[in-house]
Chain A
Amino acid sequence: MERKVNQKAWFLVLPVVLIVCFSALIPLMTVVNYAFQDTFGGNEFFWAGLVWFEDILNSSRFHDALWRQFLFSGLILLIEIPLGVVVALSMPRRGLGVPICLVLMALPLLIPWNVVGTIWQIFGRVDIGLLGWAVNSLGISYNYTTDPLSAWVTVVLMDVWHWTSLVVLLAYAGLRSIPEAYYQAARIDGASRWAVFRHIQLPKIRRVLVIAILLRFMDSFMIYTEPFVVTGGGPGSATSFLSVDLVKIAIGQFDLGRAAAMSIIYFLIILALSWVFYTVMTAKRRDDMEVGQ
């Protein structure tokens, strides 16, 4: 029997193509469209070329927002990843403690983002919030509405509280898949707790950690709801991260062209960084690679 070659299979892919078009491609193209034009309302558009891009890339406001964004993402990765791994390591491996721990860990992940914001907004208030009141009672000046440092601490703390569980769950799943024999061999080899972590656990959870880092990086880079609810980007623009700034421009100032151009730059940054993370962390180790002694 000759195998018939035909193109019918493409029809099967069509629904997916259509859905992707309407849900992603067309909105994205609209944004691209806006980014190169200017409008004064009334659906009239003028070609603007690269004006918006030049403008943004030269604006100190964008630089500041970008810098704040990097600082924020860097900070939360530095805290959440090690913390998540440590918590996962200290969780019980069998018994009744396992389901209890897992449920506790999953709780923050189940709360809607704006509710998380509201919780922390109240929690941190100086007058009625437990955290704000307690810290101030200890003689430490804390007020997230006036003090930039307080605002930062609040936002970072909130993110850590909200998302470390995700890292914990991923790392825990990775740890659980390590066969018992590895731990036994390590004990027999006289390995210290640190050596067990360094040479057995870490290599075995490397893959899930890559996923955790990627997820947390992308998510934190797009953070909007929580800081918006708690600090509204302030005080001043102290917690105006990229997306907060973007919304201010797009909706607050109705500057569609600039906002669109910024979205594209933003999108490209996330894409590029995710790619870099991914390639660096999953670089395949070759068989014949000589490793140092």
Chain B
Amino acid sequence: MARIELKNLAHSYLDRPRDEADYALKEMTHVWEDGGAYALLGPSGCGKTTLLNIISGLLVPTQGQVLFDGRDMTREPPEARNIAQVFQFPVIYDSMSVYDNLAFPLRNRKFQATEVDRRVREVAEMLDLTDRLKRRAENLTADMKQKISLGRGLVRPDVNAILFDEPLTVIDPHMKWLLRGQLKQLHKDFNHTMVYVTHDQTEALTFADKVVVMYEGEVVQIGTPEELFEKPAHTFVGYFIGSPGMNVLDCRLEGRQAWLGEHKLDLLAGHHVPAALGDKVQLGIRPEFVTVTRPEEGLPARLERVDDVGRYRIARLTLNDQAVAAILPEGSELPSDTAGVRFEPSHLHVYMDGHLSEGGA
């Protein structure tokens, strides 16, 4: 287990990167604590897999360093880093039994046969694979195969970190719940440093203690699921996390008042309004904190549509030509097509050019 440090790290797939745009990963410095469960979350092409490959040693970064417990690992090959990785599609050695698959990393490192046996059985027990140890790995279901690739990582006594590259892509929804739960339990039991790459917010949020949100090669926010939900540092985070994502509304600021067209909203004392306003001033509010009221009780809005998704409903409204979504609990009453919306002031955020406007910023 190790604490992972990234120092001035940046990477470009080009030989001679010229400007910012040539970098798949823009310069970053972060420390990931020993034993933490981290998720790298972002859309495809945001650089999350690049970052993962740099940590695992499959890629050498263009600049900067990767440190494991203070030791420079930047140029060490994967086999020297003592990391384990689970890939998007199950990687198993088809011609071997489940047992041999699990034993493979140990045998490669010349462990004693008795030690190999002890550890393989221990890991198989943890992953509910004991009754399949003698089966050939080739014809097992996708979730079993993913467990085997995970097991090959867990079996080693000296693993610095376990990396996951969208490991649940090929797993059915019902199995996802089970596997995710097991993963989380394993993390609690063994405290390995885990890094989990995904584009799926639910997976990232439920798995990780800290979620690293990436966008166009940059880390836009690192935070607990709660922080990302309550206080998105960037409108992208607000949009990307939550389903539907945060409502982002263009507005005009005048003193401590926000104007949406001709409608006025008073900001709270907690809202920071910088002296110099950005080019683009926006208000962000999550659908969870939007209430649909009768027209006279809130800002006048038009109700376009209501999507019923079972355990809640999503009201789609337009307020001053801008779309606003609101989440309504199961079974609540709705006014007809003219309605009002009310924003919970404490969950309203002000964004300048995409970034959260915070005190001292």
Contact = CB atoms under 8 A, between A and B. Distances in A.
A189 interface: yes
Interface string B81-95: 001110111010111
A200 B139 CA distance: 16
Contact of B78 (A182, A188, A289): A188
B338 to A, nearest CB: 55
A188 B83 contact: yes
Interface stretch (B130-138, B231-239, B241-249, B296-304): B130-138
Contacts of B77: 187
Given A187-B77, A203-B94, A287 B99 contact: no
A287 B153 CA distance: 25
A155 to B, nearest CB: 36
Contact of B104 (A182, A199, A288, A290): A199
A185 interface: yes
Contact of A203 (B87, B89, B95): B95
B83 A291 contact: no
Contacts of A179: 89, 91
Interface string B65-88: 000000000000111000111011
A177 to B, nearest CB: 14
B288 interface: no
B201 interface: no
B88 A187 contact: no
A293 interface: yes
Interface of B: 56, 58, 77-79, 83-85, 87-89, 91, 93-97, 99-100, 104-105, 108-109, 134-136, 138-139, 149, 152-153
B108 A189 contact: yes
Contacts of B89: 179, 181
A291 B134 contact: yes
A181 B165 CA distance: 11
Interface string A45-88: 00000000000000000000000000000000000000000000
A293 B94 CA distance: 14
Interface in A244-293: 285, 287-293
B91 A289 contact: no
A292 B93 CA distance: 15
A203 to B, nearest CB: 4
A204 B138 CA distance: 12
B108 A285 contact: no
Contact of B108 (A182, A192, A200, A204): A192
Interface in A94-146: none
A202 B97 CA distance: 16
Question: Which of A192, A195, A292, A293 has most chain B Cβ within 10 Å?
Answer: A293
Nearest to B90: A181
Contact of A199 (B56, B58, B95): B95
Contact of A291 (B56, B84, B97): B97
Nearest to B117: A293
Given A184-B78, A185-B149, A289 B108 contact: no
A191 B97 contact: no
Given A190-B108, A285-B138, A287-B135, A199 B78 contact: no
Contacts of A288: 135
Query: Interface majority SS on B: helix, strand, loop or mixed?
Result: mixed
A181 B88 contact: yes
A292 B136 CA distance: 10
20 contacts: A179-B89, A179-B91, A181-B91, A185-B149, A187-B79, A188-B153, A189-B79, A189-B104, A189-B108, A190-B105, A191-B108, A199-B96, A202-B95, A204-B94, A285-B136, A288-B135, A291-B96, A291-B136, A293-B97, A293-B100
A203 B91 CA distance: 13
B195 to A, nearest CB: 14
B321 to A, nearest CB: 48
A161 B262 CA distance: 85
Nearest to B89: A181
B123 to A, nearest CB: 14
B79 A290 contact: no
Q: Which 10 residue pairs of A and B lie closest in terms of their CB atoms, listed nearest first?
A: A190-B108, A185-B91, A203-B95, A189-B105, A287-B139, A291-B97, A181-B87, A187-B78, A199-B93, A190-B79
Contacts of B99: 293
Contacts of B104: 189, 191, 195, 199
Contacts of A287: 135-136, 139
Contacts of B138: 285
Contacts of A185: 85, 87, 91, 149, 152
Given A179-B89, A189-B152, 17 more contacts: A181-B87, A184-B58, A184-B78, A184-B87, A187-B58, A187-B79, A188-B56, A188-B153, A190-B105, A190-B109, A191-B104, A191-B108, A192-B108, A199-B96, A204-B94, A285-B136, A285-B138
Contact of A184 (B85, B94, B96, B136): B85
A12 B108 CA distance: 59
A263 B75 CA distance: 65
Contacts of B85: 184-185, 188
Nearest to A185: B91
Contacts of A199: 93, 95-96, 104
Contacts of B134: 290-291, 293
Contacts of B97: 290-293
Contacts of B56: 184, 188
A202 B96 CA distance: 12
Nearest to A188: B78
Question: Which of A179, A190, A287 has most chain B Cβ within 10 Å?
Answer: A190
Contacts of B96: 199, 291
Contacts of B139: 287
